[in-house]
């Protein structure tokens, strides 16, 4: 079966990767060791998403709030991102993966922004899977920047004001940083925490939510396929009666 003909496979799976620090601590190691191991889980989940016929895989890699972590950890995480992107891009490209980063990129270091730009350009035409990395992202930031963009549009084009005031929720989507990316069907959070932590607040309005105890570095192909299996049994009603 092609991905288009598989039934009940989520189009977009989103992962809140949590528990790297605890995973490292359990082994008596520095937190950053958990982040290193977490990159292996990212690779496994990308492979599993392609196997399952998922078309969009997104990852909450670094929130706006994560900037408040100790500087050494932030620096280590940013360095890890650059390295992981540089190491993985050839292979992602060969496998038809389109790479996209969404978030407040003004806060990212120039080296990271350059790496992101070259990875996005290299993979722009790929169609097997879109891998979205949310970096320096938060849901409230996204909604606010969308509202500001809309206000700027109104000021620049007064002739569009009536159309904007008449728009429905779908009309607002195009101002969000995720414009063009379908809303997530399934959001999975690892490590036993049951909250969204300011992630995809608008886009996740009707997402199925799955909270698993597994720490992110232990979340590999088997766990990803189990999550897809969980989703395939859900009955989504979108507020209607069936
Ligand atoms: C949460 O665990 C994890 C993060 C904040 C970072 C995750 C990032 C990666 C694994 C790198 C991904 C790389 C690419 C290129 C996508 P935590 O530190 O909050 O764990 P804790 O709750 O146990 O402290």
Check pocket membership of 42 for ligand 1, CB cut-off 6 A: yes
Residue 148 lies in a domain: yes
Is any ligand 1 atom within 6 A of the Cβ of residue 39?
Answer: yes
CA–chain centroid gap for 233, Å, is 23
Question: Is 203 among the domain residues?
Answer: yes
Measure Cα distances from 164 to 76, 150, 153, 172 in Å: 43, 8, 9, 9
Residue 242 lies in a domain: no
Q: Is 240 part of a structural domain of the chain? A: no
Q: C-alpha 178: how far from its chain's center?
A: 10
66 is catalytic: yes
Give tens-digit pLDDT for 155-179.
999 999 999 999 999 999 999 999 9
In a domain, 235, yes or no: no
- pLDDT, tens digit (0-9, with 9 covering 90-100), for 62-101: 999 999 999 999 999 999 999 999 999 999 999 999 999 9
Range of the domain at 198: 6-230
Q: Could you tell me if residue 1 is inside a domain?
A: no
Pocket test for ligand 1, best of 46, 102, 216 (most atoms within 8 A of CB): 216
Q: Kindly report the CATH number assigned to the domain that includes residue 216.
A: 3.40.1180.10
209 half-sphere exposure, CB direction, 13 A CA radius: 15
Query: Count of domains in the chain?
Result: 1
- Rounded distance from Cα 168 to ligand 1 centre (Å): 36
Question: Is 189 domain-assigned?
Answer: yes
Q: pLDDT confidence of 240, banded at 50, 70, 90?
A: confident
Asked whether residue 210 is domain-assigned, the answer is yes
Q: What is the pLDDT of residue 239?
A: 82
> What is the Å distance from ligand 1's center to 38 Cα?
7
pLDDT at 238: 82
DSSP E strand boundaries for 106-231: 129-137, 186-189, 208-211
DSSP labels for 98-125? EEEEES-GGGS-HHHHHHHHHHHHHHTT
């Amino acid at each position: 079966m092609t991905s288009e003909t598989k039934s009940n496979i989520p189009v977009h799976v989103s992962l809140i990767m949590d528990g790297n620090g605890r995973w490292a601590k359990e082994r008596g190691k520095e937190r950053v060791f958990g982040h290193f191991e977490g990159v292996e889980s990212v690779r496994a989940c990308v492979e599993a998403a392609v196997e399952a016929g998922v078309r969009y895989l997104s990852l909450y890699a670094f929130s706006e709030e994560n900037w408040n972590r100790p500087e050494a950890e932030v620096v280590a995480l940013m360095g890890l991102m650059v390295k992981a992107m540089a190491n993985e891009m050839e292979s992602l490209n060969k496998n038809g993966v389109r790479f996209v980063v969404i978030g407040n990129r003004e806060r990212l270091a120039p080296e990271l922004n350059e790496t992101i730009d070259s990875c996005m350009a290299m993979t722009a035409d790929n169609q097997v899977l879109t891998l979205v990395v949310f970096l320096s992202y938060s849901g409230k930031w996204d909604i606010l920047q969308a509202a500001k963009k809309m206000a700027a549009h109104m000021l620049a084009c007064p002739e569009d004001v009536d159309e904007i005031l008449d728009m429905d929720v779908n009309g607002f989507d195009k101002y969000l940083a995720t414009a063009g990316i379908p809303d997530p069907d399934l959001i999975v959070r690892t490590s036993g925490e049951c909250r969204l932590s300011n992630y995809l607040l608008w886009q996740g309005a009707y997402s199925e939510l799955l909270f698993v105890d597994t720490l992110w570095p232990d979340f590999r192909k088997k766990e990803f396929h189990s999550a897809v299996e969980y989703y395939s049994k859900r009955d989504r009603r979108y507020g209607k009666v069936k």
